[in-house]
């Protein structure tokens, strides 16, 4: 099968298209014929092995998985003998190891039936980003109807879902994004949109009950300024910093500081869960959430897709099609 591979941690530009064997199907596995695979910031971290802290799960000296990629949408090709929820021919989406290939193996509990009203490309744009947004709002942020919620990075992969989910939960939503993404964020249902190139929301007088920081550039102290006295901050992602922590120090500091202040400071480490995928499917099929796909690339264009994403140009999600 065709797959994008690398033998060591490297720049995404060094990923190469190769012919490799199909993955072996274990007793609890589902073999998926990949139709589309999502690209998010996590792909860059998995490929480069940065920050070094991320190698604790991905492999210390070299990556455990030769083929990168997590978000997947496609058709079931075969199932292990312990799999009961799926059978060959089913259309599925979810997360796996090695989705940038013609075939990928996924655990049964990390897949769900593909939403009937989505294409494979749209479905591949959902899992990792939408799960992060859902768990940040519901589980870490305890969002409530009527709350004032601010979302940074509202035009990105996680942010576009967070705006829609916060509205679905009944919140009043302010999205923060760049000039080129304001129309998109407004179209997703945001009650107010802040263009960060013209306005700094941390310097204003408005205060929010819940802030989801999906942009990862502002300091903890600046974000806390925009919270109410008992508000909640959830840090979803962090960028910048050195090669060891690369921004995750903000998450660590928030956890250390939280017990000593009235504001609730939280960090998110999202977990793939089948029940959450099913929740997202229901929201998608009832029209309350729609994936925002910026553009699609072919499998051999994966390095270009990652560059486009890392440069901050993507409005919504980037997807690889096969």
DSSP assignments along 249-314, one per residue: HHHHHHHHHGGGSSSEEEE------HHHHHHHHHHHHTTS----EEEEEEGGGHHHHHHHHHTT--
Q: What is the residue-averaged pLDDT of the chain? A: 93
Judge whether 173 lies within some domain. Answer: yes
Question: Which region among 75-84, 121-130, 232-241, 280-289 has the lowest average model confidence (pLDDT)?
Answer: 232-241
Residue 284 CB coordination number (10 Å): 22
Which residues share a beta bridge with 107? Answer: 29
In a shared domain, residues 135 and 117: no
pLDDT, position 232: 97
Identify whether 51 is preceded by a cis peptide bond (ω within 30 of 0): yes
Going by the DSSP 8-state scheme, the letter that residue 223 receives in this structure is: H
Going by the DSSP 8-state scheme, the letter that residue 67 receives in this structure is: S
In a shared domain, residues 73 and 166: no
pLDDT, position 175: 98
What percentage of the chain has pLDDT greater than the value 70? 95
pLDDT, position 243: 63
What percentage of the chain has pLDDT greater than the value 90? 79
Judge whether 283 lies within some domain. Answer: no
Question: Which region among 29-33, 39-43, 191-195, 254-258 has the lowest average model confidence (pLDDT)?
Answer: 254-258
Distances (CA, A) of 282 to 85, 114, 125, 275: 18, 11, 16, 11
Distance, in Å, from the CA atom of 220 to the CA atom of 211, rounded to the nearest integer, reads 11
Question: Which region among 47-56, 109-118, 248-257 has the lowest average model confidence (pLDDT)?
Answer: 248-257
Judge whether 273 lies within some domain. Answer: no
In a shared domain, residues 103 and 178: no
Judge whether 285 lies within some domain. Answer: no
CATH of the domain at 37: 3.90.180.10
Judge whether 274 lies within some domain. Answer: no
Enter the pTM of the model. 0.94
Contact criterion met (CB below 8 Å) for 98 and 2? no
Judge whether 272 lies within some domain. Answer: no
In a shared domain, residues 134 and 263: yes
Residue 81 CB coordination number (10 Å): 9
Judge whether 244 lies within some domain. Answer: yes
Distance, in Å, from the CA atom of 214 to the CA atom of 153, rounded to the nearest integer, reads 5
In a shared domain, residues 218 and 312: no
Distance of CA 18 to the CA centre of its chain: 27
Which residues share a beta bridge with 29? Answer: 107
In a shared domain, residues 243 and 165: yes
In a shared domain, residues 107 and 122: yes
Distance, in Å, from the CA atom of 104 to the CA atom of 70, rounded to the nearest integer, reads 10
Contact criterion met (CB below 8 Å) for 78 and 47? no
CATH of the domain at 188: 3.40.50.720
Contact criterion met (CB below 8 Å) for 230 and 262? yes
- Cα angle at 300 between 294 and 302, to 5 degrees? 45
In a shared domain, residues 111 and 155: no
pLDDT digits (tens, 9 = 90+) for 63-87: 988 999 999 999 999 999 999 999 9
Is pLDDT of 168 > 90? Answer: yes
238: pLDDT confidence band, cut at 50, 70 and 90?
low
Distance, in Å, from the CA atom of 45 to the CA atom of 57, rounded to the nearest integer, reads 12
In a shared domain, residues 26 and 111: yes
Judge whether 181 lies within some domain. Answer: yes
Q: For the chain, how many residues are written?
A: 322
In a shared domain, residues 57 and 79: yes
pLDDT digits (tens, 9 = 90+) for 256-269: 777 878 999 998 88
Q: How many domains does the chain have?
A: 2
In a shared domain, residues 164 and 251: yes
Question: Which region among 132-136, 258-262, 287-291 has the lowest average model confidence (pLDDT)?
Answer: 258-262
Distance, in Å, from the CA atom of 69 to the CA atom of 115, rounded to the nearest integer, reads 21
Distances (CA, A) of 32 to 8, 147, 284, 319: 25, 41, 22, 17
Is pLDDT of 245 > 70? Answer: no
Contact criterion met (CB below 8 Å) for 4 and 302? yes
pLDDT, position 240: 54
**What value does the mean pLDDT take over residues 159-172?**
98
Question: Which region among 118-127, 163-172, 237-246, 251-260 has the lowest average model confidence (pLDDT)?
Answer: 237-246
178: pLDDT confidence band, cut at 50, 70 and 90?
very high
Distance of CA 21 to the CA centre of its chain: 28
117: pLDDT confidence band, cut at 50, 70 and 90?
very high
In a shared domain, residues 78 and 96: yes
pLDDT, position 194: 97
The range of the structural domain enclosing residue 235 comes to 130-267
Is pLDDT of 215 > 90? Answer: no
**What value does the mean pLDDT take over residues 103-110?**
97
């Amino acid at each position: 099968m065709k797959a994008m591979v690398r033998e060591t941690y490297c720049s995404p530009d060094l990923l190469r298209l190769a012919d490799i064997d199909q993955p072996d199907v274990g007793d609890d596995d589902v073999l998926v014929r990949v139709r589309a695979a999502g690209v998010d910031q996590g792909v860059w971290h998995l490929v480069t092995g940065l920050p070094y802290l991320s190698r604790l799960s991905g492999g210390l000296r070299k990556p455990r998985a030769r083929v990168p990629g997590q978000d997947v949408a496609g058709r079931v090709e075969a199932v292990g003998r312990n799999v009961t929820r799926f059978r060959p021919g089913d259309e599925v989406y979810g997360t796996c190891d090695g989705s940038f290939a013609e075939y990928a193996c996924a655990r049964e509990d990390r897949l769900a039936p593909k939403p009937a009203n989505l294409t494979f490309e749209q479905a591949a744009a959902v899992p990792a980003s939408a799960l992060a947004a859902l768990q940040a709002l519901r589980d870490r942020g305890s969002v409530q109807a009527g709350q004032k919620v601010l979302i940074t990075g509202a035009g990105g992969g996680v942010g576009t879902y967070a705006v829609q989910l916060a509205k679905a939960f009944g919140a009043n939503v302010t999205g923060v994004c760049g000039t080129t993404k304001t129309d998109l964020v407004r179209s997703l249902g945001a009650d107010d949109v802040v263009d960060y190139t013209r306005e700094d929301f941390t310097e204003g007088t408005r205060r929010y009950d819940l802030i989801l920081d999906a942009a990862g550039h502002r300091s903890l102290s600046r974000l806390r300024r925009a919270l109410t006295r008992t508000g909640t901050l959830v840090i979803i992602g962090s960028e910048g910093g050195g090669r060891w922590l690369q921004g995750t120090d903000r998450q660590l500091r928030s956890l250390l500081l939280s017990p000593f202040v009235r504001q609730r400071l939280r960090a998110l480490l999202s977990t793939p869960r089948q029940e959450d995928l099913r929740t997202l499917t229901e929201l998608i099929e009832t029209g309350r959430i729609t994936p925002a796909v910026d553009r699609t690339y072919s499998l051999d264009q994966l390095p270009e897709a990652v560059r486009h994403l890392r440069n901050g140009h993507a409005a919504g999600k980037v997807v690889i099609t096969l």
